[in-house]
């Protein structure tokens, strides 16, 4: 696994890399970041969803 040197910040586009998540492979926009979690906004068709993920389950796109 390649670790990114750039931090995940609000406004970044990220991809979910957790193999156990139903959101695996989804790309979304980071809305806010706390100590070890990020809130990611997914938009698609007629729905929007805001989900919180641990930072280690996300990678920059």
pLDDT digits (tens, 9 = 90+) for 9-28: 999 999 999 999 999 999 99
- Asked if the structure places residue 26 within a domain, the reply is yes
pLDDT for 61 beyond 60: yes
For residue 3, is pLDDT > 60?
no
Evaluate whether residue 53 is within a structural domain: no
- Domain membership of residue 55 (yes or no) is no
Q: Give the CA count within 13 Å in the CB-facing half-sphere of 33.
A: 15
Number of domains in the chain: 1
Which residue range is the domain that position 17 belongs to? 1-45
The pLDDT value recorded for residue 1 is 45
Q: Are 10 and 58 in contact (CB under 8 A)?
A: no
- What are phi and psi for residue 39, nearest 5 degrees? -90, 125
CATH of the domain at 23: 2.30.30.140
């Amino acid at each position: 696994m390649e670790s990114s040197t750039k931090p995940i910040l609000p406004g970044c586009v990220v991809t979910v890399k957790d193999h156990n998540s139903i959101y695996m492979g989804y790309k979304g926009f980071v809305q806010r970041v706390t100590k070890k979690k990020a809130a990611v906004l997914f938009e698609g068709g007629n729905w929007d969803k805001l989900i919180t993920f641990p930072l280690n389950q996300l990678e920059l796109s």
